[in-house]
Amino acid sequence: MNAREIALKILLDIHVKGAYSNLSINKYLKGIENARDENLVREIVYGVIENLTYLDYMISKLSTRKIEKIEAKILEILRIGVYQMAFMDKIPHRAAVNESVNLAKKYGHKGLVGFTNGLLRNFSRKKEKIMEIDVKDKIDYLSIKYSHPKWMVKRWVKEFSYEFTENILKHNNSKAKLNIRVNTLKVTREELKNILINYGYKVLETRYAKDGLIVEDPIRITELEEFHKGYFTIQDESSMLVAQILSPRENSVVLDLCSAPGGKSTHMAQIMNNRGRIISCDIYDHKLDLVKENADRLGITIIETKKQDALELNEDFIEKMDYVLVDAPCSGLGIIRRRPEIKWNRKEKDIESLSNMQKIIINNAGKYLKPGGVMVYSTCTIEREENMEVVEYFLNNNKDFVLDEFKHDIRSNMNNEGTGYVQLFPHIHGTDGFFIARLVKENI
C-alpha cells in the first residue's frame, strides 16, 4: 500500500469504526521504513480530521449527491484529494487527483471513479471560489472554517468571547510539538538534551515544566536506545505540571485514583526520588498493565497498581493518604490538537454527565486524605463545568478543604493567578488545554 491508501484505511478506521487516531496510525505505520511516507500519512490523516467540516462543505458545493449519500470509502478518498489540493502546497493538483482516482478504481465501481475524477478536477479548476465560506452567521462561519461542531463553538463564544474562541479553534488545528519528560532518576535534563541534539534532533526546554523537553521533527524517537533504557517518556508539558504542582515529598503515601497509563504516577515517583509509596488505580487490568510497563522501563519501584473504581468509596483508603491525585475522566476538549477526532466523538450532553461523575470522584478522594494532606484535581479540558465548578462544588460540601495557593509563572490572561488553580490554553501557553487545582485538607 502507498501512503494515500494507508491514510484511507486509517480514516475509515476512525470515522467508520470509531478508532482512536493515534492507535490506528501506529497500527498501520508498522513496517513502513520510509520516513517521508510516514510523514505524508500523518499529514493527510490529521489534516482530514482537523478540517472535516470545511472539506465536506467544499465537497458539497461540487457534488450532485448529498454528503451522507456518498459511499464511505469514496467520501474519504474525496476528502483526501481535496485536502491535498486545498492545504498541501507541495503536492501538485494532478498528483492529488490521479492518486485519488486510482484509489477510487480499487475501492469503487466505474461510476464512482468518474464521479471522483470529475469532482476533484472541478475543485482544481475552481479552488479559490470553492474555498470561500458563504455564510452570514458568525458561529456557522467559525464552525466551517475551523471544523468544530457548532455546539462547541457556540458554547465557547458564550464562555469566553468570539476572538478568544477563534484563537482556540485555530490552535486546535495546529500541529502540536512532541514533549518528552526527562527521567531525572537516570539522567538530567541538560544531559538528555545534549544526547538528543547529538542524534540530530532540534531540542528546546519546556517553559513551565522543570523536567520537560520539546523535540521538533521527532521521527522514531521511541526507537532510540535511550527510550528503551528509560531516560524519557512522552508526556505533554501541561500533564507534567500536575505532579509538579502536587509535589509529593519523599517517603509519603500517594494515591493516584485514575492513573493509567501512568505518566503522572511515574512523574510523582521521580519527584519523590523513588522513595515512599504510590498506589496507582484504574478499573481495567490492561490499563494497569500499561502503568506497570512504564514504571518498569523507567526503573521505578515504588508504584503498586490496584484495580479500583474511583466512583466507589474504598473504606480501606479513608484518611490513609498524604497526597491524592484526581486526574479525572473528562471531555478531553483541551487535547483536540493531539486527538482531533475528540471534537466529532464528543456531544454537549456528555459534559453534564462527566461533571456529575467528577463530583462523585473528587468527593471520594477528599475522604482518603489525612488532615493536612494535599489533593490535586486536574482535567485535560477547558470546560468550566468540568473544572472550577467541580472544585467549587467540592469546597461547598467539604468545609475542611481550602484552595492552596502555589507559586507558578503561568500567565493565563484569565485572572486566576495566585488562587490555587490554573487553566492552561493551547493558544496562550503552547500546551494542551489543562486545568489544575491544588487543595489542602485542614487540621480541624
Structural domain contains residue 123: yes
Return the minimum-mean-pLDDT range out of 97-101, 204-208, 398-402, 416-420: 416-420
Same domain, 344 and 403: yes
pLDDT of residue 219: 84
With a cut of 50, say whether residue 220 has pLDDT above it: yes
Same domain, 385 and 247: yes
Give the mean model confidence (pLDDT) for residues 186-192: 98
Same domain, 228 and 278: no
Structural domain contains residue 417: yes
Structural domain contains residue 171: no
Same domain, 241 and 390: yes
Sign for the CA dihedral angle at 8, 11, 12, 13 comes to positive
Same domain, 262 and 367: yes
- Which residues touch 105 (CB under 8 Å, ≥6 apart)? 113
Give the mean model confidence (pLDDT) for residues 294-321: 97
Query: Of 77, 98, 132, which residue constitutes the final position of a domain?
Result: 132
Same domain, 329 and 435: yes
Same domain, 201 and 348: no
Structural domain contains residue 168: no
Structural domain contains residue 385: yes
- Calculate what percentage of the chain has a pLDDT beyond 90: 88
Active site (catalytic) residues: 380
Give the mean model confidence (pLDDT) for residues 107-112: 90
Number of folded domains in the chain?
3
Cα–Cα distance, 393 to 398 (Å, whole number): 9
Return the minimum-mean-pLDDT range out of 33-42, 63-72, 377-386, 420-429: 33-42
User: CATH number for the domain including 345?
Assistant: 3.40.50.150
Q: How crowded is the C-beta side of 99, counted as CA atoms within 13 Å?
A: 22
Is pLDDT larger for residue 413 or for residue 434?
Answer: 434
Whole-prediction pTM value? 0.92
- Which residues touch 399 (CB under 8 Å, ≥6 apart)? none
CB 425 within 8 A of CB 433: yes
pLDDT of residue 37: 85
Structural domain contains residue 33: yes
Query: Of 234, 260, 282, which residue constitutes the final position of a domain?
Result: 234
Same domain, 228 and 376: no
Structural domain contains residue 127: yes
Give the mean model confidence (pLDDT) for residues 152-165: 97
pLDDT of residue 411: 47
pLDDT of residue 29: 85
User: CATH number for the domain including 93?
Assistant: 1.10.940.10
Same domain, 43 and 120: yes
With a cut of 60, say whether residue 415 has pLDDT above it: no
pLDDT, one tens digit per residue, over 2-49 is 899 999 999 999 999 888 888 899 898 886 777 788 889 999 999 999
Cα–Cα distance, 325 to 262 (Å, whole number): 12
pLDDT of residue 108: 87
**Nearest one of 294, 293, 321, 295 to 308, comparing CA atoms:** 321
Same domain, 51 and 115: yes
Sign for the CA dihedral angle at 397, 403, 404, 410 comes to positive
pLDDT of residue 26: 87
With a cut of 90, say whether residue 419 has pLDDT above it: no
CA dihedral 108, 114, 120, 122 (to 10 degrees): -160
Domain hosting 352: range is 237-441
Query: Of 132, 158, 192, which residue constitutes the final position of a domain?
Result: 132
Average pLDDT, the chain: 94
118 pLDDT tier (thresholds 50, 70, 90)? very high
Same domain, 43 and 67: yes
Cα–Cα distance, 333 to 407 (Å, whole number): 26
Give the mean model confidence (pLDDT) for residues 324-350: 96
With a cut of 50, say whether residue 396 has pLDDT above it: yes
With a cut of 90, say whether residue 372 has pLDDT above it: yes
User: CATH number for the domain including 211?
Assistant: 3.30.70.1170
With a cut of 50, say whether residue 412 has pLDDT above it: no
Same domain, 244 and 211: no
- Which residues touch 59 (CB under 8 Å, ≥6 apart)? 67, 70, 75, 78, 79, 82, 119
